[in-house]
Amino acid sequence: MTKENEELTFSFSDDGKEYKVDDLSDEHKLIYNKVMLVNRQKNEIVSNANFEVEKLDILAKHYSDLLKEAVEGDDKKVEVVK
């Protein structure tokens, strides 16, 4: 359940003074919204990049395991996926 009277606030540091969004002028509310949008987009880009790195790490390990088996393993034929 959400609080109906909860005021939206922001600060410029974790322990800094808090400001109420409702106290801003319309022009400054627009700037606040732009800051929030940019931060959300940045976080999304970082999350997507981390996921891509994770996928590449998995694929690199797979190919490394195939190569290791080819050079150190029994004389089994290793199928390479292209």
Structural domain includes residue 34: yes
pTM exceeds 0.85 for this model? no
What was the pLDDT predicted at 6? 85
* Residues 14-45: tens digit of each pLDDT: 999 999 999 999 999 999 999 999 999 999 99
Question: Is residue 3 in some structural domain?
Answer: no
In a domain, 49, yes or no: yes
Structurally, the chain folds into a number of domains equal to 1
The whole domain housing 53 covers 9-72
Cα 51 to Cα 15, 45, 56, 57, 63, distances in angstroms: 31, 10, 9, 10, 19
**Domain-located, residue 77:** no
pLDDT at 75: 62
Q: Among 3-7, 9-13, 57-61, 70-74, which is the least confidently predicted range?
A: 3-7
